[in-house]
Chains A and B, each alone.
Chain A
Amino acid sequence: MKKRVIPILLTIVLLAALFSVCACTPAGSTTTTQKGTTTTTAGTGTSQSSTTATPVYPTYPLDGTVTLKYASAVSAHVTAVSTWPDTPFWQAWQDQTGVKLELQEVTDFSLLLASGDYPDIITSGAWGSYSGGIAKAIDDGIVMPITDYLDTLAVNYKERLMSNEEWMKGATTPDGQFPGFYHLRSNDPGVSNSYGMIMRKDWLDDLGLSAPVTADEFIDTLTAFKNDKSAVSPFSIPIGELRNMGNWGILTSPYGLVSTGYFHTDGKVHYGAFEASYKDYLIWLNKLFSDGLLDKNFLTLDTATKNSNIMNGISGATGGYAGGGIGVWMGTMKDKDPEYELVGVGSLVANAGDKALFSQRQALVPGQLSVVTTSCKNPEIAVQFLNYGYTEPGDLLMQFGIEGKSFEMRDGKPYYTDLVLKNPDGLPFAQALSQYDFCPENGPYIQGGEFCFQSYTDIQNHALAVWRDSDILEHFIAPVTIDPKDAEEYSTITSEIFTYINENFALFVTGEKSISEFDVYIDTLKSMKIERMIELYQNAYDKYMG
């Protein structure tokens, strides 16, 4: 019998080897594929630094001999149709800038950073979550700041920043460095806001109801959906989105707070989940849950189920985007149920006639950042390449694509063509357009409202308008950067506190934890140093406000 053990052992060793291949690759694979094929040419061409007052603008196209390794996640709109390097946009981007590009698709930003082996340019929305913030990434020698190039190779970017205070503040670190090229947003509907509550308009009309305004009316409306429209889960939304609806004040405005987020009243920073009235918000949500108005499965719900619920009449209210929500759902239901209609509903308020405290707003500098890394052999070329998105022709390419194909000029204004608006192959607008431009994905350019305005229906544009009807500008805090010396303390505190708050939110809403334990919850938060956390944020905010 002993003899048998050896072959079995060998089998196991081989099996184990197989499994360890899987276990070992993540660390290994990221290091194997890199090291730019950069052909070294010192000829950076064009402008030299100048100290004169008149700015020297880079001239495009550049000399065309340099290849840059460009790392970024790739938009799902693009990959639904083709691969990015095969799109007309990718070709036009290279032709117009005079730079050869090599794409490195980023599937895991954290692994890319941990590898220590960097491409020339990294575009990512996750830079803000780098432990210690973007300023730390500069200190750590990963990111090459572009501060020294602002008057020369990145002058278009600088001029754009100077035209808007929120842009300028959002694109600067606390110690005055410019880490790279941020995605910038205008304050237009559909750009600075895009998400809100959505309800079945045809049901409301049938029941003779108008869209709910207060928290109590919201309950009445959902109850009517349940009783008279036999909606199984009148308000169906996954936990992550439910939390966001609190963060954005859509549900929490009646209680004078945004739940797990910072806001200010007259310059004093508050954190919603630590406010006394947060308790009332939890009681209200718990009522929704125990009355069967909020989806019983909201903890395990996924987006696909949420979508099918609002389309199949299982729910009558949910949260969603004007494009990916209202647009897609109504488009899908158009042929199946001609009566089917949705409507955007604004943030709830405490008393009818009040203006909502808060609504969803995306920061004008949302954090998507394109940096030149310290590994880049041709930083001057890379800076000019990224600066292109902020020039006039670059603006057209990034937002509208290629003239004669995806847009045409009329009276000096660009308009999308039917090739993308009503694509002959039946592609949705965003997918068709993504073959020709960068929009709607975030990237190194400025996003304006025409994308939505020209392609949206009246219902969608109406939703965008009601969703942003609030006093948000008086309470909103743009993402601020924690002082690097406090950054470690801040991230240590938050990593435990955020878990605790999220977990307790779920427990209080489902009633697994009785609301009578709210005081214990507050005391625990105090012992986890939440007051210190808010203090650090207040300091950063004060510094941001100057």
Chain B
Amino acid sequence: MAIEGSIKNLQLKKHSDSFGIRLHKDLRKNYDAYLLILPALLFYILFCYKTMAGAVIAFKDYIPAKGIWGSPWAGLKHFEAFFGSYYFQRLLRNTVVISLVSLAIGFPAPIVFALLLNEVRNLKFKRTVQTITYMPHFISLVVVCSLIRIFTMDTGVIVQLLALFGFEPVSLLTKSRYFVPVYVLSDIWQHIGWGSILYLSALSSIDPTHYEAAVIDGAGRWKQTLHVTLPGISSTIIIMFILRAGSIMNVGFEKIILLYNEGIYETSDVISTFVYRKGLEQFQWSYSGAVGLFNSIINFIIVVIVNKISRRVSETSLW
């Protein structure tokens, strides 16, 4: 309550004083609220902003014994090496393709799921479905990935099922063309239940009187969903979308590393797995630092652009 109060205060205050004066006044008035936010603030300063300075190794030849600041400067050498790499185009292409497909299919899935679940009237059934769909989210990724590997072998249950419909029974993860579907679909299976929680809670906050009004106007189930439910959760959807867009270049490398193999690098090797191999297996810290920095900058640009568009179009935005 205190936090919400102070935020409201900030918003309602007439913007006549300068920012410094207003902040000062507000600090005095709501010091307890600021105390509450202090630990979180410290956390970000210490563990996120302070370590961000370490990104400078991308421009150096990092030697651990000399430390980050003592290591010699290397200029843009590592960036040039990456852009000139034999694998640069493929890495970029795979990263973007996997991300966009995940976004296009993986992002709407929990929303649709939440909408469907919202229509279920039998509470017992609803809860059972929810519990079952949460479950994969809590299983260790290593276990999930070995499950996926076993299921997609030529003798695995998924391939055998597909074979009933005339699909050639091959081990899916040995063919580069099947990697993206396996990755994206298994991702949906893993996260659909967990991802829908946020939307379900947003759904429950829609004022029931809106539905009553819609019913009086003669709206059926479908029209209610279209004109009451969706607008009701649209701001949540947009915020989630902006956040998701900010990690377009961050394909989860743990999962890919657990699933890929040399035979399917063609579609599965992405920037983050490349960084992992370079940095942790080949000890080229500065080089992988440069690649990682490149990745983050692109992410940052995308999130700013998406946010700007969203603010103009729908008046909902992160900042």
Residues in A lying within 8 Å of B, measured CB to CB:
1-2, 4-13, 17, 20-21, 24, 27-28, 108, 110-111, 113-116, 129-131, 140-142, 239, 296-297, 299-300, 302, 374, 491-492, 495-496, 499-500, 502-503, 505-507, 510, 512, 528
Contact = CB atoms under 8 A, between A and B. Distances in A.
B309 interface: no
A500 B85 CA distance: 12
Interface string B1-21: 001100100000000000000
Interface residues of B, number: 56
B263 A503 contact: yes
Contacts of B51: 24, 27-28
B153 to A, nearest CB: 5
Interface string B189-225: 0000000001000100100000000000000000000
Nearest to A13: B40
B303 interface: no
Interface residues of chain A: helix, strand, loop or mixed (majority): helix
B202 A8 contact: yes
A5 B47 contact: no
Contacts of A239: 261-263
Contacts, number: 126
A505 B262 CA distance: 8
Given A17-B40, A299-B171, A114 B285 contact: yes
B255 interface: no
15 contacts: A6-B7, A8-B239, A9-B239, A12-B239, A17-B44, A24-B47, A27-B54, A129-B281, A131-B282, A131-B284, A140-B64, A296-B174, A496-B85, A503-B262, A528-B86
B283 interface: yes
Contact of B154 (A7, A8, A296, A505): A296
Interface of chain B, helix or strand or loop or mixed?
helix
Nearest to B283: A131
B245 to A, nearest CB: 14
A142 B171 CA distance: 46
B279 interface: yes
Of all A-B residue pairs in the complex, the 7 with the closest CB atoms, nearest first, are: A506-B263, A141-B65, A24-B47, A506-B262, A131-B283, A116-B64, A299-B174
Contacts of B171: 296-297, 299-300
Interface of B: 3-4, 7, 40, 43-44, 47-48, 51, 54, 62-67, 81, 85-87, 146, 149, 152-154, 170-171, 173-176, 198, 202, 205, 232, 235-236, 239, 243, 261-266, 277-285, 316, 318
B65 A129 contact: no
Contacts of B265: 499, 503
B87 A499 contact: yes
B284 A300 contact: no
B174 A510 contact: yes
Contacts of A512: 175-176, 263
A138 to B, nearest CB: 10
B212 to A, nearest CB: 17
A506 B236 CA distance: 45
A8 B153 contact: no
